[in-house]
Structure 1
Amino acid sequence: MELLSDELLEDTYLAAILYKLEDDFIRMLLVEMKRRQLNKAAGSNIA
């Protein structure tokens, strides 16, 4: 996960929600966003 930039992580998270990918994958992205204290996109979380 460290290889993803903050912007790419947020974009990936939003795309995962849009395309209704696996909940576990979305949760994994959300956990990493919270670890990095990125909260812009977290308002639309499913976790």
Structure 2
Amino acid sequence: MRFFKLSDTTLLHSFEEASRLQMNPEFIKMLEKEITDRGLHLPNTLMKQLEKIN
């Protein structure tokens, strides 16, 4: 599945929301691959999750 029609901002936001909601890991991997293919940097969602814990 490709996400050609999504803007970069929407793609990054979709990745953050999918990670936050703990959606299907395969879907998250597809989003991650598209982000990487576009040369974008992944949002630092892990650090945000760690900040919530602390």
- TM-score, normalised by the number of residues in structure 1: 0.85
Change (3 A) 1:40 1:28: closer
Partner amino acid, structure 2, of 1:26: I
In the alignment of these two chains, the number of paired residues is 44
Name stretches of at least 5 consecutive residues in structure 1 with no aligned partner.
none
Q: Percent identity?
A: 27
Alpha carbon RMSD of aligned pairs, Å? Answer: 1.5
- TM-score, normalised by the number of residues in structure 2: 0.74
- In terms of Rg, which structure is larger? 2
Runs of 4+ in structure 1 deviating by more than 3 angstroms, as ranges, are none
Could you tell me which of 3, 6, 19 is aligned with 2:5? 3
1:3-42 equivalences under 5 Å are: 3-41=5-43
- 1:8 to partner: Cα distance: 0.1
